[in-house]
A = this chain, B = another copy of it.
Amino acid sequence: MYPKYANFPIFKLSSRNTMQIYKANILFTKERTQFDVIPNGYIAVDGGKVVGVYEQLPASLAGQPITDYGDKLLIPAMCDMHVHAPQYRNQGIAMDLELLPWLQNYTFPEESKYVDTAYAERMYRRFVRDLWRFGTMRTVAFATVHRDSTRLLMNLFREAGMSAHVGKVDMNRNCPDALCETVEDAIRDNEALIADCTEPDALVRPIITPRFVPSCTPELLQACGDLARKHHLPVQSHLSENRSEIAWVQELEPDSRNYGDAYRRYGLFGDTPTIMAHCVWTEGEELELMREKQVMVAHCPTSNLNLSSGTAPIRVFLNQGVPVGLGSDISGGHDLSIFKMMVYAIQVSKMLYCQDKSLPFLTLSEVFWVATKSAGQFFGKVGSFEPGYEFDALVVDDCSLNLDNYSLLHRLERFIYLGDDRQIVHRFCRGKEILEPRV
């Protein structure tokens, strides 16, 4: 029986938190400006965390079981820092519409369906499965205003073993009746969801989610800020996506110095860890406030293109030390792959560079770092293979793309530019191999 036992899948051991060693071509970005590349390297993992990365296996680790991925690539798993889970059905449709008719005819009617948890389950299962397909092991998601289907989404992430901050959306003005709640309902439903998640280091956690200033009264914004402070919960929302939205916020919150300041006044801008989607038009005092409060930008380049929003100045954020991650923003964005977000992030930065040569375009290592180590800090020590980081990883079999002995860096670049879910053959989150979620 010995040979059969030796072939027993290794991840079973890993789930018991014993030491595990993986061998592959290892690439990650400790620093923003360059890749760490370890050809035929070893990575030791214990208790879900990286112990070390080695060119040669140290004597102290001799005798430990090794999973050998041969010539494949081993890279950190992806983080999607802004996505509307209930807009999954609308991915890639009605892209010819402008923002307002698109919201009224597609977004809000779709979100209204999530009062029905059976519909929610059918769609959310596919959504979680597709995040898995594209190698996204950490997600910051908007759900809907509905408590029960939000709880369901959290449970589906847990069932899959994938990590997420999931937000019940809060909104009580400028929205259809079906999605409009009272402040009291919002507080009660958030408290209920928060009470579900008492484990301090849980994989799946709630995040306070006022939709955006125009859809929340001052009372609701204040209630959201109070909840965040009371439970020390993170916050997500939208910021400075387009100019007419900014003007509208200025009208609604005339005492605010800028859009970001409107959140700040209610304790929703960096008092707890905060992530703001878009920030296309952020500059001046708002930029300074983001730097000071370390508010993270969820950069969503496909959404910004599809909705004619403009181009977020990511080079400026990086120069200023404002944290940045990447978001698919389904369904303003049409692509769930964070690898494709890297490509788009480079491309839109090249458009800015074309207009202003003082803003060098983003390089591959920079967008990779943004999508992994920079974004991952929102989840703790995630997105790198440095010691102590949680082992979130993807094994990439790029043999279909590696037709002429490319360098490891060119292989990674081709996978990012040309590849898709077909090349991702293993996925890990917190040291556990994550198998395909049931739909």
Contacts and interface: CB of A to CB of B under 8 A. Distances in A.
A220 interface: no
B334 A343 contact: yes
B93 A414 contact: yes
Nearest to A347: B305
A248 interface: no
Given A354-B308, A354-B309, A93 B363 contact: no
Contacts of A305: 347-348, 350-351
Interface string A337-367: 0000001001110110110000001011000
A96 interface: yes
A95 interface: yes
A426 to B, nearest CB: 21
Q: How large is the interface on A (under 10, 10 to 19, 20 to 34, 35 or more residues)?
A: 35 or more
A208 to B, nearest CB: 30
A311 B308 CA distance: 14
A126 interface: yes
A418 B302 CA distance: 13
Contact of A418 (B96, B307, B334, B354): B334
A398 B353 CA distance: 38
Contacts of A306: 347, 350
A328 to B, nearest CB: 12
A410 B350 contact: no
A83 to B, nearest CB: 15
Nearest to A419: B92
A95 B351 contact: no
A256 interface: no
Residue from A95, A302, A343, A403 having most chain B Cβ neighbours under 10 A: A95
A353 B309 CA distance: 10
A274 to B, nearest CB: 27
Nearest to A416: B92
A403 B126 contact: yes
Contact of A334 (B123, B351, B354, B417): B417
A411 to B, nearest CB: 9
B309 A403 contact: no
A351 B96 contact: no
Contact of A335 (B335, B353, B418): B418
A15 interface: no
The 10 closest A-B pairs by CB, nearest first: A92-B417, A305-B347, A92-B414, A308-B350, A334-B417, A93-B410, A92-B418, A308-B354, A96-B363, A93-B413
